[in-house]
């Protein structure tokens, strides 16, 4: 009788151990799955931010460029210059984002990044920036507006954006 009891007891213990083991494994699997899911969500989230940032910069660049064209047609050169320059800057930020996954926080930061890493881009914006600044107080020529527009087009090519 005792022997039988012992066997039953042993089996019961074995069963308990197995159940505990199974439950631990299940929990571990669950945890792994959770971590995996979280990682996946994070990746999706990052991708959404990436797309959104690119899309925003692309959209604003196009919008400013189109508005610049409209103003140019109306011979409103100062407004056209400001808009083409804004388009140029949106494209510059897009270029920086495509290369570094970061966007500049200010003009100073933008100039610093381009001067250090993308000299060709720096030369374009550094050349055009004073004219954007002066456009508030000086009458600008059509020819100057066309130069800024062409520079925006150069940046559009660099970022592979169709304006």
Partner 1 sequence: MMQKLWQKKPKLSYNEQVFDIVQFGSSVKEGAKPNDIDIAVIFKQGSVKEQLEGAQKIKRQLEKISELPIHIKPFDLYSFFDIGNFAKENVLFYGMSLIYGDYFAKRFGLIPKTYLFYSLNDMDKKDKVRFNYALSGRVGSYGLIRKYGGRILRPGLVEVFPEYEDLFFDSLKKITNKIVLQKKFDLA
In the complex, the residues that contact partner 1 under the rule CB under 8 A are 123, 126-128, 130, 134, 137-139, 141, 143-144, 146-147, 150
Nearer to partner 1, 62 or 131 (CB): 131
Q: Which is nearer to partner 1, 23 or 133 (CB)?
A: 133
CB of 111 to partner 1, least distance (A): 10
Minimum separation from the CB atom of position 89 to partner 1 (A): 17
Nearer to partner 1, 46 or 126 (CB): 126
Please, what is the minimum distance in Å from the beta carbon of residue 159 to partner 1? 21
Q: Closer to partner 1 at the Cβ: 63 or 134?
A: 134
DSSP the chain: -HHHHHHHHHHHHHHHHHHHHHHHHHHHHHHHHHHHHHHHHHHHHHHHHHHHHHHHHHHHHHHHHHHHHHHHHTT-HHHHHHHHHHHHHHHHHHHHHHHHS---SSHHHHHHHHHHH-HHHHHHHHHHHHHHHHTTTS---HHHHHHHHHHHHHHHHHHT---
Question: Shortest Cβ distance from residue 63 to partner 1 (Å)?
Answer: 25
């Amino acid at each position: 009788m005792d022997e039988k009891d012992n066997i039953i007891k042993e089996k019961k213990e074995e069963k308990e151990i197995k159940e505990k083991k199974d439950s631990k494994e299940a929990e571990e699997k669950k945890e792994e799955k959770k971590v995996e899911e979280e990682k996946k969500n994070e990746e999706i989230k990052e991708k959404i931010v990436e797309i959104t940032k690119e899309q925003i910069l692309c959209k604003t660049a196009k919008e400013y460029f189109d508005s610049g064209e409209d103003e140019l047609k109306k011979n409103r050169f100062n407004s056209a210059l400001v808009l083409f320059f804004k388009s140029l800057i949106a494209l510059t930020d897009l270029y920086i984002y495509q290369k570094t996954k970061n966007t500049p926080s200010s003009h100073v930061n933008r100039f610093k990044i381009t001067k250090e890493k993308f000299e060709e881009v720096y030369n374009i914006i550094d050349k055009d920036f004073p004219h954007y600044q002066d456009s508030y107080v000086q009458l600008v020529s059509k020819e100057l507006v066309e130069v800024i527009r062409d520079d925006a087009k150069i940046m559009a090519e660099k970022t592979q954006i169709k304006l």
